[in-house]
Amino acid sequence: MTKGENVSHTPAGKPLKPPEPSFTKPLHQTVLDQKLSVCSKLCFAIGGAPNQVAGSATAFFLQIYLLDVAQINPFQASMVLFIGKAWGAVSDPVVGFFITKSKWTRIGRLMPWMVGCTPFVVVSYFYLWFVPPFTNGRFIWYLGFYCLYQTLITCFHVPYSALTMFLSPDQKERDSATAYRMTMEVLGTLVGAAIQGQIVASAHTLKNCPQHNMSASHLGNGSGAEIVKRIVHSQDFLSHAEMYMIAAGVIGGVFLICTVVMFLGVKERDDPYISKTEKQIPFHKGFILVMRHGPYLTLTAAFLFISVAIQLVQSNFVLFCTHAVDLRDHFQNIVLTILVSAVVSIPLWQWFLERFGKKKAAFCGITWIMPFTVMLVFIPNLVVAYVVAVSSGLSVAASLLLPWSMLPDVVDDFRLANPCCKGYEAIFYSFYVFFTKFAAGISLGVSTLCLEFAGYDTGACRQPAQVAYTLKLLIGAAPVAFIVTGLLILLLYPISEDVRLRNKLCLEELQKQSCISSRTLEDLSNP
């Protein structure tokens, strides 16, 4: 052997022949392998839309549906919302565990989960909006189907979120796919609110109210008030329930179509950074490593508070417009304005984060909503409502885009810190959703209980002044406090643009080393 000759070694130190001729690909071929077509990005994005279509309908309308159409009391409604969200939160890490144990199939490791659970998601979603003929067991009915729906939608959403890491090893391509996804998901949120809002809006207008209020506080506490309420409810109850069922059927059809499009247009790739001969470490050890990863904990904690703020606004907005500011005839159009603004502004935030960085984009985008929600509380007129809607859409878009764009950077950082770990992307995504869902469930349950304590009268067209005051707090002060807390935590997020660029270069080198190792071992096993 001549001096200075390049020789490859195994981990044991034995010399091997130079591996370059047996594995190297031309540079342009490697780049093309990492590129995603516009069609693939669109199909991937369409796959995420149905979850947001259904999620938008439940976020904006499930609370008022349970109170005014299903007519369960506020305490029971709060239990349905809280336990359902908590159940969904617990389902996330459980599903993430089973995904890490899933084996590769002809259509991938994640795709079978999404395709297999879709029909069951549609059925459970439909029955969530079905009013059973009995009255005494309705709480159990809605609690059971909401928990079932949360479990099944988790089986779809966790693998779909983790799929981002298996579209391409290139950060720029993943960010681009995430922007497509967020645009389509906000559009899905818009479609869900539009379908649900336009179909069921007439169930919550003043046309369905008598000239005088139906609450006991206005009619007196005698049996006459109760008789009048029953007469009105019996006349409109069936038509209102049918409106919600029609909307559920339409949304279920959208879910099926979008899942088929994603299945036909997206190709799942195996992990490019780990050698195929690398053994997977036990789940509990991988979980401990993930939970000790500082950037992940910081990002999750920050967006936990921010997502709770957005959830509070979403879940109480229809009630706020109906009972606090007398905009019940306009709420569906105001909701659509918020979501149209969010759809249009997604490309703006994608350009902003590429130009100025993701952390700056998060601060600029999310702080925008605070002064405008407070403005609507203090200046409750129609013109201000539409101005607030347009402005709030910018923040909604940022709050949706940024966490899912930053989470792959955290996974990349973890890969560099723990190169031996394989297949634990689902832990990152499932536990992120777990924490945000659990916190949202607590906040929604507490907010509904606040309405109970304020004296919310189920089915009444007008509510006491304390209810209006409580709704103003839930729309204004509470979200602002949560957003400020989340942004203060986000200040500690350590992955700057310089760190992200360094991680990208290191991962490219790691990919080359993985390719060398795999090809060399193949050459040894096939002399």
Which tokens in the block code for residue 523? 């050459």
User: How far is the C-alpha of 164 from the C-alpha of 167, rounded, in Å?
Assistant: 6
Number of CB atoms found within 10 A of residue 146's CB: 24
Mean pLDDT of the chain: 78
User: How far is the C-alpha of 514 from the C-alpha of 523, rounded, in Å?
Assistant: 14
Write the pLDDT tens digit of every residue in 240-266: 788 888 888 999 999 999 999 999 988
- State the pLDDT at residue 487: 93
φ, ψ (nearest 5 deg) of residue 458: -60, 125
| Residue found by looking up tokens 């609370």 in the block | 63
Which tokens in the block code for residue 393? 């859409």
Asked if 155 and 117 count as a contact pair (C-beta separation under 8 A), the reply is yes
Least confident of 257-261, 276-280, 407-411, 431-435: 276-280
Write the pLDDT tens digit of every residue in 68-88: 888 888 888 888 988 988 888
User: How far is the C-alpha of 27 from the C-alpha of 321, rounded, in Å?
Assistant: 58
User: How far is the C-alpha of 16 from the C-alpha of 217, rounded, in Å?
Assistant: 88
Give percent of the chain with pLDDT exceeding 90: 14
Asked if 166 and 134 count as a contact pair (C-beta separation under 8 A), the reply is no
- State the pLDDT at residue 281: 62
Which amino acid is present at 410? Answer: V
Q: Which residues contact 402 (CB under 8 A, 6 or more apart)?
A: 303, 349, 353, 358, 361, 362, 365, 366
Residue 349 has pLDDT above 80, yes or no: yes
Which of the four pLDDT bands, split at 50, 70 and 90, describes residue 140? very high
Write the pLDDT tens digit of every residue in 162-212: 888 788 777 778 888 888 888 888 788 778 877 877 777 665 554 555 544
Q: Alpha-carbon dihedral of residues 128, 398, 403, 190, nearest 10 degrees? A: 20
User: How far is the C-alpha of 124 from the C-alpha of 91, rounded, in Å?
Assistant: 16
